[in-house]
Protein backbone atom coordinates (compact mmCIF):
# COMPACT_ATOMS: atom_id res chain seq x y z
CA UNK A 1 0.00 0.00 0.00
CA UNK A 2 1.20 3.51 -0.78
CA UNK A 3 1.11 5.45 2.55
CA UNK A 4 -0.79 8.73 2.45
CA UNK A 5 -3.01 7.71 -0.48
CA UNK A 6 -6.65 7.25 0.47
CA UNK A 7 -8.68 4.39 -0.87
CA UNK A 8 -12.43 4.10 -0.52
CA UNK A 9 -13.67 0.93 1.11
CA UNK A 10 -17.11 -0.37 1.97
CA UNK A 11 -18.00 0.03 5.64
CA UNK A 12 -20.96 -1.60 7.33
CA UNK A 13 -22.16 -2.69 10.75
CA UNK A 14 -20.64 -5.92 11.98
CA UNK A 15 -22.67 -9.12 11.79
CA UNK A 16 -22.34 -12.42 13.66
CA UNK A 17 -21.46 -14.10 10.34
CA UNK A 18 -18.25 -11.99 10.30
CA UNK A 19 -16.75 -14.49 12.71
CA UNK A 20 -14.82 -16.38 10.01
CA UNK A 21 -13.63 -13.06 8.50
CA UNK A 22 -12.26 -12.06 11.94
CA UNK A 23 -10.44 -15.34 12.22
CA UNK A 24 -8.86 -14.72 8.79
CA UNK A 25 -7.97 -11.11 9.72
CA UNK A 26 -6.13 -12.04 12.92
CA UNK A 27 -3.01 -13.61 11.30
CA UNK A 28 -2.73 -10.57 8.98
CA UNK A 29 -2.23 -8.27 12.00
CA UNK A 30 1.34 -7.76 13.17
CA UNK A 31 2.29 -8.20 16.81
CA UNK A 32 2.72 -4.40 17.03
CA UNK A 33 -0.76 -3.73 15.62
CA UNK A 34 -2.30 -6.21 18.06
CA UNK A 35 -0.38 -4.64 20.96
CA UNK A 36 -1.53 -1.13 19.97
CA UNK A 37 -5.16 -2.27 19.81
CA UNK A 38 -5.30 -4.42 22.95
CA UNK A 39 -2.45 -2.78 24.95
CA UNK A 40 -1.05 -6.24 25.61
CA UNK A 41 0.61 -9.01 23.64
CA UNK A 42 -2.30 -11.21 22.52
CA UNK A 43 -1.20 -14.28 20.60
CA UNK A 44 -4.58 -15.70 19.69
CA UNK A 45 -8.22 -14.81 20.01
CA UNK A 46 -10.22 -17.46 21.86
CA UNK A 47 -13.53 -18.42 20.21
CA UNK A 48 -15.42 -16.80 23.09
CA UNK A 49 -13.65 -13.47 22.43
CA UNK A 50 -14.33 -13.63 18.69
CA UNK A 51 -17.99 -14.33 19.39
CA UNK A 52 -18.10 -11.34 21.79
CA UNK A 53 -16.44 -9.04 19.23
CA UNK A 54 -18.82 -9.90 16.38
CA UNK A 55 -22.00 -9.97 18.47
CA UNK A 56 -23.15 -6.46 19.32
CA UNK A 57 -26.53 -4.91 20.08
CA UNK A 58 -25.99 -1.99 17.64
CA UNK A 59 -26.86 0.42 20.42
CA UNK A 60 -24.75 0.27 23.61
CA UNK A 61 -22.19 -1.83 21.72
CA UNK A 62 -21.50 -1.10 18.07
CA UNK A 63 -18.86 -2.17 15.60
CA UNK A 64 -18.35 -1.39 11.94
CA UNK A 65 -16.07 -3.20 9.55
CA UNK A 66 -14.19 -2.16 6.43
CA UNK A 67 -14.20 -4.82 3.80
CA UNK A 68 -12.57 -5.48 0.47
CA UNK A 69 -14.12 -8.33 -1.40
CA UNK A 70 -15.07 -10.88 1.21
CA UNK A 71 -12.34 -9.88 3.68
CA UNK A 72 -12.54 -7.63 6.72
CA UNK A 73 -9.51 -5.31 6.72
CA UNK A 74 -10.44 -3.10 9.67
CA UNK A 75 -12.82 -2.69 12.57
CA UNK A 76 -13.95 0.27 14.67
CA UNK A 77 -16.09 -0.20 17.73
CA UNK A 78 -17.62 1.60 20.64
CA UNK A 79 -18.88 0.42 23.97
CA UNK A 80 -20.97 2.64 26.20
CA UNK A 81 -22.17 1.94 29.71
CA UNK A 82 -25.90 1.69 30.32
CA UNK A 83 -25.40 4.04 33.31
CA UNK A 84 -24.02 6.78 31.02
CA UNK A 85 -24.93 6.09 27.38
CA UNK A 86 -23.84 9.61 26.38
CA UNK A 87 -20.19 8.46 26.64
CA UNK A 88 -18.59 5.75 24.52
CA UNK A 89 -15.13 4.22 24.51
CA UNK A 90 -13.83 3.66 20.98
CA UNK A 91 -11.16 1.46 19.43
CA UNK A 92 -9.95 1.00 15.85
CA UNK A 93 -7.74 -1.62 14.24
CA UNK A 94 -6.70 -1.78 10.59
CA UNK A 95 -4.82 -4.58 8.88
CA UNK A 96 -1.15 -3.62 8.52
CA UNK A 97 -1.19 -3.67 4.73
CA UNK A 98 -3.98 -1.07 4.64
CA UNK A 99 -2.73 1.29 7.36
CA UNK A 100 -2.11 4.83 6.13
CA UNK A 101 -4.69 4.49 3.34
CA UNK A 102 -7.63 6.21 5.02
CA UNK A 103 -9.35 3.02 6.19
CA UNK A 104 -9.17 4.02 9.87
CA UNK A 105 -10.52 7.46 9.01
CA UNK A 106 -13.48 5.97 7.14
CA UNK A 107 -14.20 3.52 9.95
CA UNK A 108 -14.01 6.20 12.64
CA UNK A 109 -16.20 8.57 10.60
CA UNK A 110 -18.84 5.87 10.16
CA UNK A 111 -18.69 4.91 13.83
CA UNK A 112 -18.88 8.48 15.13
CA UNK A 113 -21.85 9.19 12.86
CA UNK A 114 -23.71 6.20 14.29
CA UNK A 115 -22.74 7.19 17.84
CA UNK A 116 -23.88 10.80 17.37
CA UNK A 117 -27.26 9.69 16.04
CA UNK A 118 -27.66 7.48 19.12
CA UNK A 119 -27.01 10.29 21.58
CA UNK A 120 -23.31 9.82 22.31
CA UNK A 121 -21.79 13.21 23.17
CA UNK A 122 -18.35 12.19 24.46
CA UNK A 123 -15.91 9.71 22.96
CA UNK A 124 -13.00 8.30 24.94
CA UNK A 125 -10.03 6.17 23.96
CA UNK A 126 -6.80 4.88 25.43
CA UNK A 127 -3.77 5.39 23.17
CA UNK A 128 -0.10 4.61 23.63
CA UNK A 129 2.00 7.80 23.66
CA UNK A 130 4.10 6.72 20.66
CA UNK A 131 1.10 5.78 18.49
CA UNK A 132 1.42 8.75 16.14
CA UNK A 133 -1.04 7.41 13.53
CA UNK A 134 -3.83 7.02 16.10
CA UNK A 135 -3.14 10.44 17.63
CA UNK A 136 -3.09 11.98 14.14
CA UNK A 137 -6.46 10.40 13.36
CA UNK A 138 -7.88 11.86 16.56
CA UNK A 139 -6.49 15.33 15.73
CA UNK A 140 -7.97 15.24 12.20
CA UNK A 141 -11.40 13.80 12.96
CA UNK A 142 -11.97 14.91 16.54
CA UNK A 143 -10.24 18.29 16.77
CA UNK A 144 -11.80 19.24 20.12
CA UNK A 145 -10.13 16.31 21.88
CA UNK A 146 -8.14 16.56 25.07
CA UNK A 147 -5.25 14.17 25.61
CA UNK A 148 -4.23 13.44 29.20
CA UNK A 149 -1.29 11.32 30.36
CA UNK A 150 -2.50 8.40 32.48
CA UNK A 151 0.27 6.09 33.73
CA UNK A 152 1.90 4.67 30.59
CA UNK A 153 -0.93 5.58 28.17
CA UNK A 154 -2.79 8.66 27.00
CA UNK A 155 -6.48 9.07 27.69
CA UNK A 156 -8.32 10.83 24.89
CA UNK A 157 -11.65 12.52 25.52
CA UNK A 158 -13.54 14.22 22.73
CA UNK A 159 -16.85 16.00 22.56
CA UNK A 160 -18.94 14.56 19.74
CA UNK A 161 -20.80 17.00 17.57
CA UNK A 162 -24.33 15.84 16.79
CA UNK A 163 -23.36 16.40 13.14
CA UNK A 164 -21.52 13.35 11.79
CA UNK A 165 -17.84 13.46 10.88
CA UNK A 166 -17.31 13.49 7.11
CA UNK A 167 -15.87 10.28 5.66
CA UNK A 168 -14.60 12.09 2.56
CA UNK A 169 -10.96 11.56 1.63
CA UNK A 170 -8.35 14.07 2.73
CA UNK A 171 -7.64 16.87 0.25
CA UNK A 172 -4.48 16.51 -1.83
CA UNK A 173 -2.64 19.07 0.35
CA UNK A 174 -3.25 16.83 3.37
CA UNK A 175 -1.91 13.84 1.51
CA UNK A 176 1.46 15.52 1.09
CA UNK A 177 1.56 16.39 4.78
CA UNK A 178 0.57 12.88 5.84
CA UNK A 179 3.24 11.31 3.65
CA UNK A 180 6.05 13.21 5.40
pLDDT of residue 163: 63
Q: Kindly report the pTM of this predicted structure.
A: 0.84
Q: What is the largest CA-CA distance in the chain?
A: 44
For residue range 90-131, what is the model confidence (pLDDT) as tens digits?
Answer: 999 999 999 999 999 999 999 999 999 999 999 999 999 999
| 164 pLDDT more than 60 | no
For residue range 20-43, what is the model confidence (pLDDT) as tens digits?
Answer: 999 999 999 998 988 888 878 788
pLDDT of residue 1: 52
Residue 35: Cβ-neighbour burial (10 angstroms; 0-12, 13-18, 19+): middle
Strand 87-94 and strand 122-127: the pairing is parallel
Residue 127 CB neighbours (<10 A):
20
d(CA 82, CA 73): 30
| 86 pLDDT more than 90 | yes
| Chain centroid, CA 89 distance in Å | 10
Residue 19: Cβ-neighbour burial (10 angstroms; 0-12, 13-18, 19+): middle
> In the chain, what are the domains?
10-119 (3.40.630.30)
Q: Which of 81-85, 130-134, 137-141, 176-180 has the lowest mean pLDDT?
A: 176-180
pLDDT of residue 16: 93
For residue range 37-69, what is the model confidence (pLDDT) as tens digits?
Answer: 887 878 888 889 889 999 999 999 999 999 999
Amino acid sequence: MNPGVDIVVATRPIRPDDRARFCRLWPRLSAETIYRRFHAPVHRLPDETVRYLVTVDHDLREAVVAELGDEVIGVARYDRPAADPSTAEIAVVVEDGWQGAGVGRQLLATLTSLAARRGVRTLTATVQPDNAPALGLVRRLLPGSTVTPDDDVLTVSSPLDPQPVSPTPRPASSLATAAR
